[in-house]
Amino acid sequence: MFNKDATDNSTYNVDNFEFIKKTSPKVGALIEQEYNRQKNNIELIASENYCSEAVLAACGSCLSWKYAEGYPYVRTSGNTSRYYGGTKFVDELEEYCCDLWRQVFDTDYHVNVQPHSGSQANFAAYKAILNPGDTILSLTLDNGGHLTHGSSVNFSGKLYNMEFYDVDANGFIDMEDVRRKALEIKPKLILTGASAYSRIIDFPKFAEIAKEVGAYFMVDMAHIAGLVAGGAHPSPFGYADIVTTTTHKTLRGPRGGLIFARPELAKKVDSAVFPYAQGGPLEHIIAGKAVCAEEALKPEYKEYAHQVVANCAAFCDEFLKMGYDVVTGGTDNHLFLLDLSKFPFSGKDLQDRLDEVGITLNKNCVPNEKRTPKETSGVRIGTAPMTTRGYKEDDFREVARKIDAVVKEMVAEAEAK
């Protein structure tokens, strides 16, 4: 793994670009440049992380060659239901992967490990329980939701009737607004989960409201899944009817998705993934997901998850001490948002300037956003990747001061114009 000083990569065998260059000098060179960027930059993108060498090796294995449309076993007969031969070993692998993920989240939910991404997991989850035109009650993108939670440019906003609950004046999900709108519009599905929300989500209250109005309750835990697995965030299992996630954020696995569902929804979920939304599963990625699950079951993973949260709290607190506005006034998880509305530059401007000095984060909308989504009035900051690289609280406090120095330079430049 890259150490925090980025001076030694001898224990992290991913620099295979020299081998690739023998066949493709251009591709090998680009991979080398990206490798060095990741190695030398301070990585603060909340949706990214560094997976283990074992996960990378599984994803680059001979399983890349294998087609295996269908599922390993028909539950009533125990026979394979693949549409290809030669699937004995990938059948065992996929069943093993499913078993591991139930252990990770201590659940008896059905799990489908085939979704290629979190977006495809959400696409299939909606299909399993909804018809086009059905109403979903969700959190908007501006308030921390995800593109697949109802954005008008996304399939979710085009296929379904989207209604949105709000956050309060402090940026917290307004549970009274959730209940009021649920009673008013009677949605078929109530959805929670976020890509830029820094507080604990009240899963029991959401479940209570969904039950009250006769709606399904779904949680997209893509960002917080690793924290849930490590016991650093409350779990949605037992409350939600369907839970979706990615495996590459706080879980530190390969890029891919998972769907968990109550057992009575298993058949609908499976058929929504295959054959409705996807063809052959990526068995090499499923192998990486299995390795990731094994790692998440180790005691040191729980230590990591709690360190991510502790680091984020310290990082956020340093900005607050320096007088910055933070959406919700703090954080309970792995990320927080700086609100730059009062500054003479946008989130995009700060993102670009920090890129120049080796600090990587991303622009992000804030509640009551006044700028365009391409500019934004905020930046999203996460601690999961650099925690993987060994950063502790004091390291993140130092990074906060480095970012502050850049902000001060940008303010001075704006005032001098």
**3-state class (DSSP) for residue 270:** helix
Q: For residues 171-195, give the mean pLDDT.
A: 97
Burial classification of residue 233, based on how many CB atoms lie within 10 Å of its CB (0-12 exposed, 13-18 middle, 19 or more buried):
buried
Determine the pLDDT at residue 6. Answer: 45
Q: Which of 12, 35, 67, 83 is catalytic?
A: 67
In sequence order, the 6+-apart residues with CB closer than 8 A to the CB of 366 are: 142, 327, 337, 339, 340, 341, 376, 377, 378
**98-147: per-residue pLDDT in tens?**
999 999 999 999 999 999 999 999 999 999 999 999 999 999 888 889 99
| Contact (Cβ atoms closer than 8 angstroms) between residue 113 and residue 68 | no
Cα 187 to Cα 162, 174, 206, 389, distances in angstroms: 9, 17, 13, 43
CA 79 to the chain's CA centroid: 34
Residue 220 a catalytic site member: yes
pLDDT band at 7 (very low <50, low <70, confident <90, very high): very low
- Token digits for 180? 């009021």
Residue 294 a catalytic site member: no
Residue 37 a catalytic site member: no
- What secondary structure letter does DSSP report for 77? T
Give the rounded percent of residues in the chain with a pLDDT score beyond 90. 88
Q: Which residues in 32-70 are b (16+ Cβ under 10 Å) and which e?
A: beebeebbebbbbbbbbbbbbeebbebbeeebeebbbbb
Q: Which of 4, 21, 205, 255 is catalytic?
A: 255
Q: Which of 39, 181, 188, 249 is catalytic?
A: 249
Residue 67 a catalytic site member: yes
In angstroms, rounded to a whole number, what is the distance separating the alpha carbons of residues 207 and 196?
A: 21
pLDDT band at 17 (very low <50, low <70, confident <90, very high): confident
**236-269: per-residue pLDDT in tens?**
999 999 999 999 999 999 999 999 999 999 999 9
| Of 115, 72, 367, residue with least CA distance to 253 | 115
Tell me the pLDDT of the chain averaged across its residues: 94
**383-392: per-residue pLDDT in tens?**
999 999 999 9
Q: CA torsion, points 31, 36, 38, 41, in degrees to nearest 10?
A: -150
pLDDT band at 417 (very low <50, low <70, confident <90, very high): confident
pLDDT band at 290 (very low <50, low <70, confident <90, very high): very high
Burial classification of residue 285, based on how many CB atoms lie within 10 Å of its CB (0-12 exposed, 13-18 middle, 19 or more buried):
buried
Name residue, tokens 């519009």. 185
Residue 82 a catalytic site member: no
In angstroms, rounded to a whole number, what is the distance separating the alpha carbons of residues 298 and 262?
A: 26
Q: Which of 15, 48, 53, 69 is catalytic?
A: 69
**37-96: per-residue pLDDT in tens?**
999 999 999 999 999 999 999 999 999 999 999 999 754 455 668 999 999 999 999 999
Q: Which of 220, 241, 318, 395 is catalytic?
A: 220
- Token digits for 298? 């180790």
pLDDT band at 150 (very low <50, low <70, confident <90, very high): confident
